[in-house]
Amino acid sequence: MRNHTELKEFILLGIPQTEGLETVLLVIFSFIYPLTLLGNLLILLAIVSSSTLHTPMYFFLGLLSIMDMLFPSVLCPKMLVCFSGQSRAISYKGCAVQLFFYHFLGSTEGCLYSVMAYDRFVAICHPLRYKLIMRPGVCVGFVMAAWLVGCLQATILTSFTFQLPYCGPNRVDHFFCDIPAVLPLACADSSSVQGVASTSIGFLALMLWLSICASYTCIGIAILRIHSAEGRQKAFSTCSAHLIAILCAFGPIIIVYLHCTPNPLLDATVQLLNNTVSPMLNSLIYSLRNKEVKSSLKRICHNVVFIVLQ
């Protein structure tokens, strides 16, 4: 990555139009962030500790829980520092690292949603061949491919963004370093970089969305062919939580990166919900709508209470 900048740091201005609300936001997100970490950690422990959950579906769900712990951790610590009234400065390299890991984890999680949709497609449409198709080596290969795509996407976006010269001003009108907030500060024309970023993000999101739609179209057709209402309900219940999580993940991408007219307040609000609230909701969605996970969580809680009372 070439560094033409004379700036040593950026100043994060925070969420637009929220001046005077820092204390309230600090209290809210000081509650949401630890709750997000705790909820996803419990799901991960429930999967690891229960041998009945050692299947491809729960393998991917465990990885999703890890992503939902890492993703908000890229943004929340610095955001909470800013809300507390401490320094809003972030170094040039720190800004680049934050942007890289934001897109790396976001892209990887999007790929993981696509893999999970394919897993449900195989389970419902080809149940007799499920164990053969989704064998451990294939699952690991899917995960490695997801990480590779995420790394490649983040490298492209970060390299193009920070190859531009930044010589001032250094005030980022956002609560973290992201492409739409950083590019206006460049001392050169950034329209080509904005075009590359929009194209790259849009293409990946479109490909993932089409793959998910293809999987769920086949799943929907297969479910309609099931004669018993109980069978249809059981098949649909294994997919409903995943569908809700997908809508929460892909909706903000369209709003923030692909709409024509930038709206700082709208973009910040949507990203804040997507980066902090959605990971917390994912843990609730999957734990409340999945009997096996709920059973394992109850067993863990029972063991913890038993140990504490001893």
Q: Please report the DSSP string for 161-208 in residue order.
A: HHTS---S--EESSSS--HHHHGGG-SS--HHHHHHHHHHHHHHHHHH
The mean per-residue pLDDT over the stretch 235-261 comes to 68
In this predicted structure, what is the pLDDT of residue 59?
92
Question: What six digits make up the tokens of 263?
Answer: 């709206």
Distance CA 221, CA 235 (A): 12
Place of tokens 């520092």: 81
Share of the chain above pLDDT 70, in %: 88
- Among 129-133, 174-178, 234-238, 254-258, name the one with the lowest average pLDDT: 254-258
Q: What is the CA radius of gyration of the chain?
A: 21
The β-bridge partners of 90 are 10
- Reference 178, options 260, 247, 257; nearest CA is 257
pLDDT band of residue 168 (cuts 50, 70, 90) is confident
In this predicted structure, what is the pLDDT of residue 173?
85
Between residues 174 and 159, the one the model is more confident about: 159
In this predicted structure, what is the pLDDT of residue 52?
83
Distance CA 92, CA 108 (A): 24
In this predicted structure, what is the pLDDT of residue 99?
95
- Delineate the domains of the chain, giving CATH numbers in brackets: 9-309 (1.20.1070.10)
The amino acid that residue 98 corresponds to is: Q
For residue 169, is the peptide bond before it cis, meaning its omega torsion is within 30 degrees of 0? yes
The mean per-residue pLDDT over the stretch 152-167 comes to 93
User: C-alpha 108: how far from its chain's center?
Assistant: 8
Residues 79/175, Cβ–Cβ less than 8 Å: yes
- Among 126-140, 159-173, 215-229, 264-278, name the one with the lowest average pLDDT: 264-278
Going by their DSSP bridges, the two strands 89-91 and 171-172 should be labelled as unpaired
- Reference 29, options 272, 245, 248, 269; nearest CA is 272
CA angle 292, 298, 304 (to 5 degrees): 140
The amino acid that residue 47 corresponds to is: I
In this predicted structure, what is the pLDDT of residue 104?
96
The amino acid that residue 99 corresponds to is: L
Between residues 200 and 267, the one the model is more confident about: 200
The amino acid that residue 105 corresponds to is: L
Between residues 303 and 10, the one the model is more confident about: 10
The mean per-residue pLDDT over the stretch 67-77 comes to 91
Q: Given a cut of 80, is residue 256 above it in pLDDT?
A: no
Residues 208/187, Cβ–Cβ less than 8 Å: no
Please give the mean pLDDT across all residues of the chain.
84
- Among 106-120, 212-226, 233-247, name the one with the lowest average pLDDT: 233-247
Place of tokens 């018993």: 228
Q: What is the DSSP letter of 86?
A: S
The mean per-residue pLDDT over the stretch 113-124 comes to 91
Q: Given a cut of 70, is residue 152 above it in pLDDT?
A: yes
What are the contacts of 245-252 at 24+ separation with CB within 8 A? 245/64, 245/113, 245/278, 245/281, 245/282, 245/285, 245/286, 246/113, 246/117, 246/212, 248/274, 248/278, 248/281, 248/282, 249/109, 249/110, 249/113, 249/274, 249/278, 250/110, 250/205, 250/208, 250/209, 252/278
> From the CB of residue 79, how many other CB atoms can be counted at a distance below 10 Å?
23
